[in-house]
Structure 1
């Protein structure tokens, strides 16, 4: 058995993990049900990458992929993500996230793949009971997305007990960086600054959230993947800090003088309407002790790196439009 299977590889984190694994010489199998054009282009110049088109809810297709490639481990990123999706299509979200994972675990057990690194979320906790929490915090998810991630964590424990699988949960928090595909803080604020556009969010100035830079999330997942024996089955991989949105806007105004950014008072609301439960920092001490994870990007460094990349992308797009105009 060899190689790593990455599910949801066409997504933000899955794609970054694929590139990082290839860069260090791993054979990678990418499973993606959606847009695969970027993956196909990458595969054309990366002989260690195979791309498989499959819906994770199609158990027969998932089983066939595991039978064909027999990966030594799975990094499970495939999911419908986010609180907004929890309210817009909860039944579909639960089916993809939970039933899809069950299909994957069944195929792993059948074909001898023992380890799964599952990308979980701070949403499993619901409202934080302290400004900084560890992995022993009570699990009380408020929305269907968090419910699905908590269920998948427990499903992994069930397959550990019944099939001997090694299911490790990486609890991330609001991963961001260049190319983030959704309209969400802090990247919407970064893009406005990069383009010289005004952006005034109506609320959320006091909300504190652990924002995790993409490169740190990738490093943490790979650290967990490589550890031979895990003392725990769940770890925080985050920034270990929780700046407020007002602080983030202030940092961006310093990084981009003249940027017209602001955040109104009160607590953050997803899509401007769905209240966010209290959040805070995720202690990463357990991951540091187990596999040496330490975030390299504090919020200023992460915002600066994202701003530089977004400026470059904006300038390139503008130059391309002028050349073809």
Structure 2
């Protein structure tokens, strides 16, 4: 592992912690960096992390502690936090550092490209994972964090264009992930992959959040499952208007991916709503409603989801 790459993770919620737990066994300790501000680094070090009940010690670093650029930065924050963590990302960059964004939606790569350059960006989607991060254990008298998951899923990377330089970047990240045995695959149709994941997220995240349930809420036949599927079909219509065709086979594939997840698991929006955190509603219903207006496509299900979840968020804030 002497030739192991240096990988930096920015954002240490459920996805960031999951990726760290998958990478740590296959990399030198110092080559995997969890980059955060001083307050968070101190908190992470004091609290510790349990992964499926087992302690995991990680290399938490502040931006000013960096002496060698990372080969890859994996961004795992919420979209509304992205502007705040741009300095953390910048602290990891050298001439050849690449950036992968595991954020929900279809907008984060554009923000990162505008800030750091298209030549650093490799598109990806995170799929098939059911990780949940919470704070049930105690260490040193403080509430610590625990990551629980059954399915670790994978990152799917790919090129959005036929540009040879972009395809070379994808190959570079593919090779890097192979070095550290990180679960991933390469898509030959990344726009379709990206929109397919948005289709699933728009359905499952919002419906489970509205019904305040778990994946089981939409895995079982009934009203919630029908809403989940109807929201997905609205995304299909909008995607087609945007020049990306999602087929019935795509619909069935993403449905099967969701149906295979741990019934007791929760999507990120439900976890955020339950914890009283801000939800990424604008990335899902907000995006589909806006594009629906642009193309003259009605989106009544996403309208209903937007209104219902907005009311739940308002109740959280007033409570």
TM-score range (shorter-chain normalised) is: 0.3 to 0.5
Higher RCO (CA-CA < 8 Å; seq separation 6+): 1
> Which structure shows the bigger proportion of residues in helix conformation?
2
